Amino acid sequence: MNNKIKFENVPFNIPYIFEKDFKKNFSELRKKDKYSSVGYFSSKCEEWLKKNINAKSVLLTNSCTSALEMCALLLNLKKDDEVIMPSFTFVSTANAFVLRGAKPVFVDIDNDNLNIDSNEIEKAITKKTKAIVVVHYAGISCDIKRIKTIAKKNKIFLIEDAAHSILSYYQKKPLGSFGDLSTFSFHDTKNIHCGEGGALIINNKSLIEKSKIIRDKGTNRDKFIKNVVKKYTWVDVGSSYGLSEINACFLYSQLVNSKRIITERVRIFKNYYKIFSNFKDFQLPKLSSKKKINGHIFYIIVKNNRKSFMDFLKKNGIQTTFHYVPLHNSPAGKKYAKGKNLKNTEKLAKSLVRLPIFYDKKYFGKDYFNKINRLVSIYLKNINK
Ligand SMILES: *Cc1c(COP(=O)(O)O)cnc(C)c1O
């Protein structure tokens, strides 16, 4: 196809930095002269998250992967314990539990939002099931209320891998506030970032004290800092999961601006949505007034030939990507999924395309969306000839 429209290259993602706020925070950090984890800015970030996520307790971590590993340690998972999760997710969702010897039980996703299918969860529960891990894909809530009821009824833990879903809501309640435990990511590909970082949300009160021990290398250092014990020592298993104060100081400048980031991403999402819903060749995420979104990912399901569509956009200066390789078909995951046939996961993962979405007004003006509209029309005219 040679119907090229002249166009400035639009990358898939550019991480934004609120540089002025960061510099101000950094000079404050210089005065404090303490850069390791569990300090002034970590507390500021934790307080901010506690308030905005409506969480019982929050610990900053050096990644979402670390926060998920903490979940597996906190639940004391052992060999042959089963953890129900979607196959359509990032590797860390499974790996954190596999590291403890637990077995991931992969469940299919629904066609509407690519989230774990709550109808399939109950069928997958056995005597060995210890937890359900949900992912709110693209920042759009899964059927979290129903899944919470299922977890309660079966006395198993609920974990939200909320890596995509900071400041998204289900019936006005923030995602991350439903699970016994929830995790966030501040990787620079996510809505709010600090290079690499994460947070563990602990809503189940019985797990709060132990979470601090696990973060602090298995010691009771937290009690020492609060003057409860005179000397700190090794009291349980743990590792080094805290976030450096340098990252926390950066993260705080992003968190206080997070509403601006999300408003802009949602605006971009809605503009794409309006355009693509005019063409019957694409399937879009199903939106609902119950589910307030955060514009983390804008994806479409391309009904035929994803590759030629992505190549066409690339030739015209628009970078797109796709994910995930379903875990139940991956080299490390397939041994847990012998003979498993997850129909929606396989079908949707093959045809998903993600479009550029990031906080930067320069790229996403009226011209951009007009051009996207024209490009898509040209593309479809050509393939449907
Ligand atoms: C990004 C992501 C992670 C991992 O986050 P890190 O902070 O990079 O460790 C985990 N789960 C999901 C669903 C993700 O998208």
Per-residue pLDDT reduced to its tens digit, 112-139: 999 999 999 999 999 999 999 999 999 9
What's the rounded mean pLDDT across residues 311-331?
96
Instruction: Name the CA radius of gyration of the chain, rounded.
Output: 22
Count of beta carbons in the 10 Å neighbourhood of residue 115: 23
Looking from the CA of 117 toward its CB, the CA atoms found within 13 Å total 17
- pLDDT in the model for residue 2: 42
Say if ligand 1 is within 6 A of residue 89 CB: yes
User: Is the pLDDT score of 107 beyond 70?
Assistant: yes
Tell me the pLDDT tens digit for each residue of 351-373: 999 999 999 878 999 999 999 99
Query: Is the separation of the CB atoms in 251 and 266 below 8 Å?
Result: no
**Distance from Cα 195 to the centre of ligand 1, integer Å:** 13
- pLDDT in the model for residue 303: 83
Say if ligand 1 is within 6 A of residue 198 CB: yes
What's the rounded mean pLDDT across residues 188-195?
98
Q: Which residues of 247-272 are buried (b: 16+ CB within 10 A; e: fewer)?
A: bbbbbbbbbeebeebbebbbebbebb
Residue nearest to atom 8 of ligand 1 (CA): 187
**Distance from Cα 170 to the centre of ligand 1, integer Å:** 21
Query: Is the separation of the CB atoms in 329 and 341 below 8 Å?
Result: no
**Distance from Cα 198 to the centre of ligand 1, integer Å:** 9
Query: Is the separation of the CB atoms in 49 and 254 below 8 Å?
Result: no
User: Is the pLDDT score of 5 beyond 60?
Assistant: no
Q: Atom of ligand 1 at shortest distance to CA of 92?
A: 10
Single pTM value for the model: 0.96
- pLDDT in the model for residue 7: 55
Mutate to test the pocket of ligand 1, among 13, 60, 64 (most ligand atoms within 8 A of CB): 64
Q: Name the one residue in this structure whose structure tokens are 């198993």.
A: 156
CA distances from 136 to 66, 109, 343 (A): 18, 11, 19
Alpha-carbon gap, residue 179 to 55, rounded angstroms: 10
**Distance from Cα 90 to the centre of ligand 1, integer Å:** 6
Residue nearest to atom 15 of ligand 1 (CA): 163
Query: Is the separation of the CB atoms in 186 and 164 below 8 Å?
Result: no
**Please, what is the end-to-end C-alpha distance for the chain in angstroms?**
12
User: Is the pLDDT score of 73 beyond 60?
Assistant: yes
Q: What percent of the chain has pLDDT over 70?
A: 98
What's the rounded mean pLDDT across residues 163-180?
98
Say if ligand 1 is within 6 A of residue 93 CB: yes
105's tokens: 């039980």
**Distance from Cα 166 to the centre of ligand 1, integer Å:** 12
- pLDDT in the model for residue 339: 84
Closest CA to 95 of 77, 112, 113, 109: 77
Q: Which residues of 144-169 are buried (b: 16+ CB within 10 A; e: fewer)?
A: beebbebbeeeebbbbbbbbbbbbbb
Say if ligand 1 is within 6 A of residue 92 CB: yes
Residue nearest to atom 5 of ligand 1 (CA): 64
Alpha-carbon gap, residue 11 to 355, rounded angstroms: 9
Count of beta carbons in the 10 Å neighbourhood of residue 92: 20
CA distances from 293 to 4, 191, 289 (A): 33, 12, 10
- pLDDT in the model for residue 338: 87
Residue nearest to atom 14 of ligand 1 (CA): 163
- pLDDT in the model for residue 4: 47
Mutate to test the pocket of ligand 1, among 60, 63, 65, 159 (most ligand atoms within 8 A of CB): 65
Say if ligand 1 is within 6 A of residue 61 CB: no
108's tokens: 């299919």
Q: Atom of ligand 1 at shortest distance to CA of 67?
A: 9
- 152 versus 383: which is more confidently predicted? 152
